[in-house]
Structure 1
Amino acid sequence: MPSPKEIKNSGIEILIAEDSPTQAEALKLILERHGYQVTIAANGRKAVAAVYERKPAVIISDIMMPEMDGYAFCKAVKSDERIKDIPVILVTTLTDPRDIVKGLECGADNFIRKPYDEKYLLSRIDCLLMNRELRKSEKVRFGMEISLMGQRHNITSERQQILDLLISTYEQAVHINEELEARQKELAHSSQVLHGLYRIAEGLNRCTSEQEVADKALERAMELPGVQAGWFSLRDGVSGFHVAAVRGVPPSLELPGAMEGDCLCRRKLLSHDLGHVTNILECERLQKVKDDLHGLRGHASIPLNIGDQTLGVMNLAGPDRGLFDDDDLKVLYSVGNQVAIALERARLHARVLDRTAQLEAANKELEAFSYSVSHDLRAPLRHISGFAEMLKENQGAASDEESQRCINTIMNSSKKMERLIDDLLAFSRMAKTEMHLEKVNLDQLVQEVIKDLQPEIERREIAWVIGPLPDVEGDGAMLRQVWVNLIGNAVKYTGTRVKAEIEIGSRPAGQEPLFFVRDNGVGFDPQYADKLFGVFQRLHRSDEFEGTGIGLANVRRIVHRHGGRTWAEGRVNGGAVFYFSLLSRDRHSLE
């Protein structure tokens, strides 16, 4: 059923001159909704023809149009005695003072700023229609010339028409100013929100415990617009909660136990009805308070969720019964996500610390065990080795060969076990041994290692090829162990070849000096190359080549501690090459 206003406007025709079909249809829809009859013309020339065909009560014209713009169209209307009484409203951006003068010059009655406000547009139409009769009797026209921005303009409009145009211009200016003030407030609010969100994120990033997260989250949330108080509850078990932090609440709520117990937001959280930030209009806790609440009656409840896991809830209260609008709730939802992530990170940090402590304790127990095993094993080994040595010395020339073989086996086995214990202890200590960095002369170190290995070398014919090696920065004792293992292996795995070949050298590899030990021994199957540097990993039978299976593992650990890497190449009965690199500086940079 049409309203009285629509019935009143039903006989009033309005012509729209607008070249944009979208904007024309949108304006037509507004006017027809209020009972007006509307005709549309796509430009000024067509609009003139439409006016002569059917005289409208009001004309609304855009200024920027093809063929004939709004000023020219308005001037054509006001220049014809038959139609000059039709009020013309020009739609413009109103960004240039010359728009006003041009409007006066062409006889326009009103300005409407684009984009227009529907309520203001309708009020202008009503005003023009009411003043139409008054203006019929007002025939006083002014003729004057004015100069503006270097141009002269001739104004010949009626007094009432000039007054209407200037009033509409002033109203538009006031409206623009109000919009600017509102926008300025919005920008200030947005700036405060962004600053608050940054402060929250910056604070949470440094938190390493749940308590720190709760304290910092509330501290920084109080900097958000409208937030005056808050409390932070964490889950305890299936249905329990504990208050982790409180800020800005009345003194009675800061007392121990005052915030504990059941409440609406906790019930909603447990029943999965608090999936998003929600305004709790009448907070049960605040209603019970006898103190001055400073206007606090409700609050926003922010669920702290990670996936399908609920960690807790953060409640923030503000003015106006604590209600927050939709935009505020969206901001608080993002805050809740940040806090939940920080809580999960803190819990993970706690688990890592706990696990680290467990590993350190286990490592200490293992270290104590290794020393205990070393002591317990060494004592009987010393007895076995000592008595075997005594038996061997006391055996006469007539002793049978079997007894002599057994004694030798006992002695060799005890020595092998002692080497294994020594290697295990060295390997276990390597991770914790403090490094003493110094300039290490590798040429000298390698020569010393070869000299120490002389008992194993003297009955062998080995062709050595030793290239110049650079000085490096590292732990001399550790690097010595690397060369002992690599050169010792090369000597051992060349076996009983008529002529063994061992090459030791280095070559630059970008920033890292690269070292290698190459031999022409038994080699290895390349498909098992990744196992070579593991503990107790052996690719050859122990009855052919003695070893504990720890040497290369120790090499890798030492090289890694020097920032380098290890790898190997080889083929069965085709020799092997063992490489390692060090993140060290050359001789010149050390001087």
Structure 2
Amino acid sequence: MVITPPITANILLVDDDPGSLMAMETLLAGPGRTIVTAESGQDALRHLLQQDFAVILLDVRMPRLGGVETAALIRGRARSRHTPIIFLSAADTMDADVFRGYSVGAVDYLFKPFIPEILKAKVTVFVDLFQIGDRVRQQSEQLGAINQKLDQDITARKRAEEELSKQTAVLKSVLASIGEGVVVADMAGKFVIWNPAAERIVGLVPAGVPQEQWSEDYSVFLPDQVTPYPADQIPLAKAIRGESVDGDVQFLRRPGIPKGIWLSVTGRPLRDESGIQRGGVVIFSDITERKRAEEEIKKSNTQLEAANKELESFSYSVSHDLRAPLRHMNGFADLLQKHAASALDDKGHRYLQTISESAKHMGRLIDDLLLFSRMGRVELRRTPVNLNEIVSDVLRELRQETEGRRIEWKLGTLPEVRGDPAMLRQVFVNLIANAVKYTRPREEARIEVGTLTHLPSAVSREDVPSPHPAPGDPLLRPLQRVMGEEKVRGDDVVVFVRDNGVGFDMQYAHKLFGVFQRLHSAREFEGTGIGLANVQRIIGRHGGRVWAEGKVNEGAAFFFSLPKLAETGKTRGGD
């Protein structure tokens, strides 16, 4: 039985008088009908581009595009060429106008004021004709589809047989050509498929032995290379039991393979189209070379870790041993200043002051070096960290350095991350202290701390960057370049510290994060050149990245990325 869905007839009412449209819409509305109204010929043509109509009621006299002209345009379109058009006209319409209407395709004329029952009856006739015609069309299409399906079913069996024959040939060819071993067994453990690669890798043809003897017969061992593989845990045996196995590592050693080989095995239950299990299948590959390479890499990594620990220990030892003589130098310089002050001229006092200041600077340098060494050795204590609280704490710590200065602070809301609170605090101490230091030449300093939801520009002088910059906006360039270099993932948290200080030349940006690397002389700005190296080490251990943007005399911005708090245990590149 052919079932056709309910058919809805669209009726288009076109009249520049809203009152007439409302009256006709109220009169003609009913089940299975959709009334569409238009107050001009142009609106009517737009509706006709979007849908088809059972009948169109068209007012003859309309401004700009009259009814006759609209009807001519409607008839000029193939899709609406046969749509019935009923003209609505005033009683004083001339016969010539009526003739013009019929000549452009009108099927009827109604004169205003029209009798509602007549209008309703005429429209109903065309609606019924439309629905009957559409129903016939639908049924014809459905019957045609059924006939086509019957024709297809007649030849389906032959095609299926031919296709099965082709697929069988292709399967045999694929199994013979792939490099991985493929073995299929039925539910009783009888081997159904054992491709050439399986024979080459294992060095044996399938034997008719029970599952309990597979491990012994094929000389399969656990990764310790000594313990025989438990027979019930062999991937093919598990696959036959309905279990899945991924990347199981086995070791094979037989008289023909004295050194043995390593295999990576994946197993799956084998089911038919109905979902009924018919056996199991395993695919395995020889990973002996990969295992050897992994062992070499592991050995190299162990040696590298040992060398790094030695280097860290040496650095710590040297820095620690240098502190004692420096304290002596500084102490004796102070004593000499006190006891021999009257005997020294201005040059002598200046020499003593230089010795004292140099010793203190060296002390700070050693302290920073010790901190740098410690940041590479101390264990990370990962906990949820509120970065807003850290920033507030750092600002309180730097209050003495900022006292008496005009600094405009812009502190955005920072996200919560997972990391080591003490280490992340050191990051903000270094970055914010640098911003305070390098804005000293400014009468009014501006320092901003935020996230890249604001996408700051290091060289922009605008107070607040656009929250939604366009793709070509300069504010996007720092992030676009860094993400293009795959330093930052799209779901990382990116934090920045920006200032309007002295800035730096971008051609030297690569030196910023090196130990003892400075872009400004000690006479201009104090420092040891280790702070930013510490920042890079800390963020790197957290699995993030650090970079900077700047321009001479226009400020600088330092960015760092961290994995989001939700990514617990998935931190890349960290400890």
TM-score where L is the length of structure 2:
0.44
TM-score where L is the length of structure 1:
0.43
